Amino acid sequence: MGGADADMGRERGSRDCRLLPAALVLWTAILAAEALFAILIKGEQPLAEWSGDGASCAPGWLMPVCMATGGFAVGVILSKRGMTFIRHGADMRVAMMVVIMVSIVGVTSAWAHLLVRWHDPAAAGARNGKVEVVAVGRITEPLKTSTIREADCQAEMKLESILLQGVSRRSSTQVRAFFTGGDCAAASRGATYRVSGVLREAEYGGTPLWLTVGSDRNVERVRDPPVTDLVRAHMQERFFDAVSRLSDQGRVLVPGLTMGVLGQDHVPSDGRWEAGMVDETYANRLEDSFRNAGIMHLMAVSGGHFVLIASLVRRLCSRFLLPRAVTACCIAASYGLLASLMAPGDSVSRALIMGWFNAAAMAVGRRPQALSALCCTVIGTLLADPAMAQSYGFALSCAAVLGIVILTGPLTSAFTRILPKPIASGLAMTVAAQYATMPIQILMKPQLPVLSCVANLLVAPVVSYATLLGLAALLCAWADDDVAYGLVWLASLGTRVMEVVADGLGNADVAVLPWKDGITGALAMAGIEAAALIAIRMIVRRGGRGSDDGPAAKRFTRDPRNRLGIWFADTVRLVTDSNRTAWRGREVNLHGESD
Amino acid sequence: MAHCGGMGLQRERINAGAAARRLRSLEEPGDVDVRRAGRSSAVDAGRPGRLAPPRPPIPPRAGRRGAGKTSIGELSGVRPGDADVTVEHRMRRDAPRLRFTPGHALAAMLLLVAVTCASLTLLVRQSLNYATVGQSASHGIVRTYEDTQGESGATSDATQPQGTVTQPQGSTEQPSQPEPQTSNGSQEPQGMDAKDTRINLNTATLEELDSINGIGPVTARKILDYRARTGGFSSVDQLLEVSGIGAKTLEKIRAKVTV
What does the pLDDT look like over A551-571, one tens digit per residue?
Answer: 777 778 877 888 899 999 999
pLDDT 10s digits, A159-190: 988 998 888 888 889 999 999 877 888 888 99
A172 touches B at CB < 8 Å: yes
| Mean pLDDT score, A38-57 | 64
Whole-number Å distance between alpha carbons of A578 and B56:
53
Judged by CB atoms closer than 8 Å, whether chains meet at B99 and A95 is answered as yes
pLDDT at A19: 93
Whole-number Å distance between alpha carbons of A18 and A22:
8
Please check whether residue B253 is in contact with residue B240, taking contact to mean a CB–CB distance below 8 angstroms.
no
pLDDT at B186: 40
Percent of chain A with pLDDT over 90: 51
Residues A575, A576, A582, A587, Cα dihedral to 10°: 90
Whole-number Å distance between alpha carbons of A142 and A445:
26
Judged by CB atoms closer than 8 Å, whether chains meet at A166 and B95 is answered as no
| Mean pLDDT score, B30-50 | 45
pLDDT band for position A274 (cuts 50, 70, 90): low
Number of folded domains that form chain A: 2
Judged by CB atoms closer than 8 Å, whether chains meet at A384 and B137 is answered as no
Q: Same domain, yes or no, for A158 and A191?
A: yes
| Alpha carbon distances (Å) from B25 to B58, B66, B67, B167 | 11, 9, 11, 99
Domain that holds residue A196: 122-225
B33 touches A at CB < 8 Å: no
pLDDT band for position B12 (cuts 50, 70, 90): low
pLDDT at A417: 83
pLDDT at B62: 52
**What angle (nearest 5°) sits at the alpha carbon of residue B8, between those of residues B3 and B14?**
65
B146 touches A at CB < 8 Å: no
Beta strands in A489-532 (DSSP E): 512-514
Whether residue A46 lies inside any domain: the answer is yes
What's CA B235's distance to the chain center, in Å?
37
Chain A 251-290, CB below 8 Å of chain B: which residues?
269-270
pLDDT at B180: 41
B139 touches A at CB < 8 Å: no
Question: What value does the mean pLDDT of chain A take?
Answer: 86
Whether residue A33 lies inside any domain: the answer is yes
Task: Count the residues in chain A.
Answer: 595
B32 touches A at CB < 8 Å: yes
Judged by CB atoms closer than 8 Å, whether chains meet at A186 and B112 is answered as no
Helix (H), strand (E) at residue A118: helix A89-119
| Alpha carbon distances (Å) from B9 to B3, B71, B147 | 10, 8, 102
B contacts of A108 (beta carbons < 8 Å): 116, 120
Whole-number Å distance between alpha carbons of A325 and B230:
67
pLDDT 10s digits, B18-28: 777 777 777 65
B contacts of A15 (beta carbons < 8 Å): 95-97
pLDDT at A483: 94
B187 touches A at CB < 8 Å: yes
| Mean pLDDT score, A147-159 | 89
List of residues 6+ apart from A526 with CB closer than 8 A = A439
Question: How far is B109 from chain A, CA to nearest CA, in Å?
Answer: 6
List of residues 6+ apart from A194 with CB closer than 8 A = A134, A135, A136, A219, A220, A221, A222, B145
B12 touches A at CB < 8 Å: no
State yes or no: pLDDT of B232 exceeds 80: no
User: Is the pLDDT higher at B139 or at A61?
Assistant: A61
B4 touches A at CB < 8 Å: yes
pLDDT at B51: 59
* One-letter identity of residue A579: N
Judged by CB atoms closer than 8 Å, whether chains meet at A105 and B116 is answered as yes
Task: Count the residues in chain B.
Answer: 259
* One-letter identity of residue A369: Q
A contacts of B104 (beta carbons < 8 Å): 18
Q: Same domain, yes or no, for A146 and A94?
A: no
pLDDT at B100: 86
Q: Which of A195, A225, A255 is the last residue of a domain?
A: A225
Q: Which of A215, A223, A141 has its CA nearest to residue A182?
A: A215
- Burial of A251 (C-beta count, 10 Å sphere; 0-12/13-18/19+): buried
| Alpha carbon distances (Å) from A381 to A97, A345, A347, A389 | 21, 13, 12, 9
pLDDT band for position A467 (cuts 50, 70, 90): very high
pLDDT at B110: 95
Q: Same domain, yes or no, for A155 and A94?
A: no
Q: Where in chain B is the domain with CATH 1.10.150.320?
A: 191-258
Q: Same domain, yes or no, for A28 and A110?
A: yes
Judged by CB atoms closer than 8 Å, whether chains meet at B97 and A10 is answered as no
What number of helices (H) and strands (E) belong to chain B? 11, 3
Name the most confidently modeled range: A191-200, A511-520, B1-10, B192-201: A191-200
Judged by CB atoms closer than 8 Å, whether chains meet at A217 and B235 is answered as no
State yes or no: pLDDT of A103 exceeds 70: yes
| Mean pLDDT score, A414-435 | 90
Query: Domain B191-258 in CATH: superfamily?
Result: Photosystem II 12 kDa extrinsic protein (1.10.150.320)
State yes or no: pLDDT of A192 exceeds 50: yes
pLDDT band for position A311 (cuts 50, 70, 90): very high
Q: In DSSP terms, which residues pair with A201 in a beta bridge? A: A209
Whether residue A487 lies inside any domain: the answer is no
Which of A32-36, A100-104, B80-84 shows the lowest per-residue confidence on average (mean pLDDT)?
A: B80-84
Nearest by CB to B115, from A16, A168, A383: name it.
A383
Whole-number Å distance between alpha carbons of A315 and A310:
9
Whole-number Å distance between alpha carbons of A579 and A587:
10
Please check whether residue A161 is in contact with residue A168, taking contact to mean a CB–CB distance below 8 angstroms.
yes
Judged by CB atoms closer than 8 Å, whether chains meet at A91 and B41 is answered as no
User: What percent of chain A is helix, strand and coil (3-state, nearest 5)?
Assistant: 65, 10, 25
Nearest by CB to B173, from A172, A217, A551: name it.
A217
State yes or no: pLDDT of A465 exceeds 80: yes
| Mean pLDDT score, A251-278 | 80
Pairing between β-strand A447-449 and β-strand A512-514 as defined by DSSP bridges: antiparallel
A-B contacts (CB, under 8 Å):
224
Whether residue A449 lies inside any domain: the answer is no
pLDDT 10s digits, B62-84: 545 555 677 777 777 777 666 66
Whole-number Å distance between alpha carbons of A471 and A259:
8
B contacts of A197 (beta carbons < 8 Å): 247
State yes or no: pLDDT of B179 exceeds 60: no
Question: How far is A186 from chain B, CA to nearest CA, in Å?
Answer: 5
Please check whether residue A306 is in contact with residue A335, taking contact to mean a CB–CB distance below 8 angstroms.
yes
pLDDT 10s digits, B202-229: 888 888 888 888 788 888 888 888 888 7
Whole-number Å distance between alpha carbons of B204 and B201:
5
pLDDT at A128: 86
Q: Same domain, yes or no, for A190 and A129?
A: yes
What is this model's ipTM?
0.79
- Burial of A110 (C-beta count, 10 Å sphere; 0-12/13-18/19+): buried
State yes or no: pLDDT of A545 exceeds 70: no
pLDDT band for position A147 (cuts 50, 70, 90): confident
Please check whether residue A272 is in contact with residue A184, taking contact to mean a CB–CB distance below 8 angstroms.
no
- A160: domain CATH number is 2.40.50.140
Q: Which of A192, A225, A258 is the last residue of a domain?
A: A225
B contacts of A549 (beta carbons < 8 Å): 27, 32, 80-81
Chain B 34-73, CB below 8 Å of chain A: which residues?
41-43, 46, 48-51
Please check whether residue A400 is in contact with residue A436, taking contact to mean a CB–CB distance below 8 angstroms.
yes
Which of A49-63, A385-399, B185-199 shows the lowest per-residue confidence on average (mean pLDDT)?
A: B185-199
Whole-number Å distance between alpha carbons of B135 and B156:
32
Q: Same domain, yes or no, for A185 and A209?
A: yes
pLDDT band for position A266 (cuts 50, 70, 90): confident
The pTM for the full model equals 0.70
pLDDT at B60: 58
Nearest CA in chain A to B188: A166
